[in-house]
Amino acid sequence: MVAEATKDFFVSYNKADRAWAEWIGWQLEAAGYSTILQAWDFRPGSNFILEMDDATKEAKRTIAVLSPDYLNALYTQPEWVQAFRQDPTGKDGKLLPMRVRTCTLEGLLASIVYIDLVGLNALAAQNELLAGVRRSRAIPSTPPHFPGDASSSPALPSPAFPGSWPLVWNVPYRRHRFFTGREQLLKTVREQLTGTKAVALTQTLAIHGLGGIGKTQTAVEYAYRYQHQYQAVFWTRAAAPDTLISDYISIAELLHLGAQDERDQIRLIQIVKQWFSCQKDWLLILDNADDLEIIPDYLPAGENGHILLTTRDPSVEGMAQGIAVEQLDRQEGIDLLLRRAGMPVPGPPAERDAAERIVAALGGIPLAINQAAAYLEQTQCGLARYLEFYQQHRAALLKWKRWVPSDYPRTVAATGAWPLNRWSSATRRQQTCCGCAPFWTRTAFLKTSCSRARRNWVLSCSRLSTTLLRSTTPSKSCVASRCYAVIPS
């Protein structure tokens, strides 16, 4: 016997659209409807699959919060299909699609009329939502505004509304379609920047880790995921003073700061910093801030916004609170590899086993996994064949620019070579000749008087460099192999 539905709506969404789902649920509850929402109703200790099954049975109608993430997710399809199965003709409106981000609908979903909230401000979206969920004729209760009256335009949207882009936005990267994992990392970043969950509030936060570990992509995902919490989001290239100066000047132009013919770069930077000190609700990202000595001159004073640095150097004490970005765990690495390669997830056991071995060989480094997946997608060679090819031609694959995803500026080889390129040419010749770069990496710096954090940084950098050097030195270099084996990672 099927239980009688007791709730008006079950809100089905992907985790990337949680802000949208909660906004929709709140509006419906305020209007007198009852809802079931994962973020509100699925409590710790419960079984996710059983909760979803109960929700589809207890709710009279299902709202599908449509976005690219929703359409590509693994568990969202069964949720809306259940509602479609109960009402395939749409007579009872059991499935109510609601588009919150631009996406292309295909298959069965394309035949259902959806509520479109894309591009609307908060007031217009609220009206569209409540009018759309009603089954009655959608005639307005008040006369429509005269279309030619510009004064009737709604006010600028509140930054808390998830559909409103920041008033200023210059992030140069698109959101990564296959961004996988990092949920706890993103949660920690948010909590530390906002001071929630009894976490100490910090205005400046630095996420640090190996090259290719996913620092930039994590910053991009944070910017997109929490964009509705900011009035302005700025991205700067912090690898060198010239790029920082150039990007600060671009910010000044974006904000219309300074005189139109202002040519004093130092003055423009000070004007931008002053703007940050006086304004609120902004996010400033300094990407690739590997030379930390140059960064303080560009940090604004005050606590009116949030600053997020990405760097390979963990010695950020006194400048920012640091959070380490680690390699992807086994499950996240496998999912990223399969999704990026266009293969089914979770996939057959044999393919998952091969994917696990590839992820292990690549050390769980997201850039390496993305590069491998791009190669798999282009060549269709299969996981087992790729693993065999990688073991035989590792150096060539790590350097193959053609297979680098467009979101990444460098290959794995170019990224991993960075620690070596910072040292003198004489030193590099010495370690290449002796064939034991890993040993040198772990000992020479440790004999200096550098800080403990910087010594740890050198040790961590050597992990990726070791993989690359072992790929490019003679295959019978037993010295390098011994050095790597004696001193564990």
Q: Residue 144: inside a domain, yes or no? A: no
Query: What is the average pLDDT across 125-153?
Result: 66
Q: Band of the pLDDT at 216, cuts 50, 70, 90?
A: very high
d(CA 461, CA 457): 6
pTM: predicted TM-score of the whole model, two decimal places: 0.55
d(CA 382, CA 325): 30
SS3 at position 90: coil
pLDDT at 403: 46
Query: What is the average pLDDT across 11-16?
Result: 90
Write down the residue that tokens 């190669």 correspond to.
375
pLDDT at 189: 93
Query: What is the average pLDDT across 17-22?
Result: 91
Which one, of 248, 249, 268, lies nearest residue 258 by Cα? 268
SS3 at position 372: helix
Q: Residue 157: inside a domain, yes or no? A: no
Query: What is the average pLDDT across 289-311?
Result: 90
Residues 203, 310, single domain; the answer is yes
Residues 126, 181, single domain; the answer is no
Residues 318, 173, single domain; the answer is yes
d(CA 245, CA 256): 16
Give the tokens for residue 234.
């700025």
Contact assessment for residue 290 and residue 184, using Cβ atoms and an 8 Å cutoff: no
What's the pLDDT tens digit per position in 357-383?
888 888 888 888 888 888 888 888 888
SS3 at position 63: strand
Residues 343, 278, single domain; the answer is no
- The residues, any chain, with a CB within 8 Å of residue 460's CB and separated by 6 or more, are 209, 210, 314
Residues 286, 193, single domain; the answer is yes
Query: What is the average pLDDT across 108-121?
Result: 85
pLDDT at 351: 86
Q: Which residue has the higher pLDDT, 269 or 43?
A: 269
Kindly report the CATH number assigned to the domain that includes residue 80: 3.40.50.10140
Checking if the pLDDT of 152 tops 50, the result is: no
Residues 253, 355, single domain; the answer is no
Residues 196, 221, single domain; the answer is yes
> How would you label 420-457 residue by residue, b for 16+ Cβ within 10 Å and e otherwise?
beeeeeeebeebbeebbbbbbbbeebeeeeeeeeebeb
Can you list the alpha helix ranges (DSSP code H) found in 14-135? 18-30, 38-41, 48-58, 68-72, 76-86, 122-133
Q: Residue 434: inside a domain, yes or no? A: yes
Other Cβ atoms within 10 Å of 335 Cβ, number: 22
Checking if the pLDDT of 73 tops 60, the result is: yes
Q: Band of the pLDDT at 396, cuts 50, 70, 90?
A: low
Q: Residue 120: inside a domain, yes or no? A: yes
Q: Residue 30: inside a domain, yes or no? A: yes
Query: What is the average pLDDT across 313-335?
Result: 88
Write down the residue that tokens 């993103």 correspond to.
186
Q: Band of the pLDDT at 395, cuts 50, 70, 90?
A: low
> How would you label 174-184 residue by residue, b for 16+ Cβ within 10 Å and e otherwise?
ebbebbbbbee
Contact assessment for residue 408 and residue 376, using Cβ atoms and an 8 Å cutoff: no
Q: Residue 121: inside a domain, yes or no? A: yes
- The residues, any chain, with a CB within 8 Å of residue 7's CB and separated by 6 or more, are 34, 35, 36, 58, 59, 60
Angle, nearest 10°, between helix axes 383-392 and 366-379?
120
Domain end among 364, 395, 413 = 413
Structural domain span for residue 100: 7-133
d(CA 337, CA 400): 17
Residues 472, 361, single domain; the answer is no
pLDDT at 437: 39
Residues 224, 176, single domain; the answer is yes
For strands 232-237 and 115-116, give the pairing: unpaired
pLDDT at 97: 92
Q: What is the DSSP string of 293-305?
A: GGSGGGPPSSSSS
Q: Residue 159: inside a domain, yes or no? A: no
Contact assessment for residue 73 and residue 14, using Cβ atoms and an 8 Å cutoff: yes
Q: Residue 62: inside a domain, yes or no? A: yes
Domains identified in the chain, total number = 4
Which one, of 60, 136, 76, 74, lies nearest residue 109 by Cα? 76
Domain end among 272, 300, 324 = 324
What's the pLDDT tens digit per position in 229-268?
898 999 999 999 999 999 999 998 888 886 556 678 888 8
Whole-number average pLDDT of the chain: 76
> How would you label 62-89 residue by residue, b for 16+ Cβ within 10 Å and e otherwise?
bbbbbbbbbbbbeebbebbbbbbebeee
Q: Which residues on adjacent β-strands are paired with residue 235?
A: 285
Checking if the pLDDT of 57 tops 50, the result is: yes
Residues 175, 245, single domain; the answer is yes
> How would you label 376-399 residue by residue, b for 16+ Cβ within 10 Å and e otherwise?
beeeeeebeebbeebeeebeebbb
- Measured over the CA atoms of residue 87, residue 91, residue 94 and residue 98, the dihedral's sign is positive
Domain end among 379, 413, 447 = 413
pLDDT at 261: 60
Which one, of 340, 469, 336, 355, lies nearest residue 412 by Cα? 469
Angle, nearest 10°, between helix axes 478-486 and 452-472?
150
Which one, of 178, 173, 185, lies nearest residue 372 by Cα? 178
Which one, of 229, 247, 255, lies nearest residue 287 by Cα? 247
pLDDT above 90 as % of the chain: 21
Residues 28, 103, single domain; the answer is yes
Kindly report the CATH number assigned to the domain that includes residue 290: 3.40.50.300
Write down the residue that tokens 């300074």 correspond to.
258
pLDDT at 457: 45
Cα angle 247-102-118, degrees, rounded to a multiple of 5 = 95
Residues 252, 340, single domain; the answer is no
CA distances from 256 to 160, 221, 250, 306, 481 (A): 25, 27, 10, 21, 57
Which one, of 54, 64, 66, 5, lies nearest residue 33 by Cα? 5
